Amino acid sequence: LLSLVESGGGSAQSGGSQRLSCTASGSRVTRYNMAWFRQAPGKEREAVAGIHSEGSIRYADSVKGRFTVSQDNAKNTLYLEMTSLKSEDTAIYYCAAVLTLDTDFRNWADDYEYTYWGQGTQVTVAS
């Protein structure tokens, strides 16, 4: 059973940077398709970035060029490097994982595809 724990959230200034971590236990992240989602107050949860187990990477249009998702297999950890932060990036950020997704990763942004979820970490960007 995979367990995910996010960390690294907090307050940041607009234009600043922050790095989120998602540490996995119980299994190796290399076996899973991983993703970051976020949910802002009063809004639906949305996909931010994803890494397929075979290496494909996807980003939401709203974060392309600003956010970078990466994975450290030795540390069994997923990261989300966020730069040029905007107030609209304020949300609770969740790490998610699923064992099997289509190779083309076309469903990466569908939260119902994911089996395992972390508890979330709050990111607040002050304008």
- In tens digits, the chain (127 residues) has pLDDT values of 899 999 999 999 999 999 999 999 999 999 999 999 999 999 999 999 999 999 999 999 999 999 999 999 999 999 999 999 999 999 999 999 999 888 889 999 999 999 999 999 999 999 8
List the end-to-end C-alpha distance of the chain, in Å, as a whole number: 40
> Taking the mean position of all CA atoms in its chain, how far away is CA 88?
16
DSSP three-state, residue 122: strand
Pairwise CA distance, residues 21 & 27, whole Å: 17
As given in the structure block, the two tokens for residue 80 are 């989300």
pLDDT score, position 12: 96
pLDDT at 96: 98
Question: Is the distance from CB of 56 to CB of 41 less than 8 angstroms?
Answer: no
pLDDT at 127: 84
Q: How far is CA 1 from CA 4, 71, 77, 87, in A?
A: 10, 19, 16, 35
| pLDDT value, residue 1 | 87
Tokens of 30: 């290399």
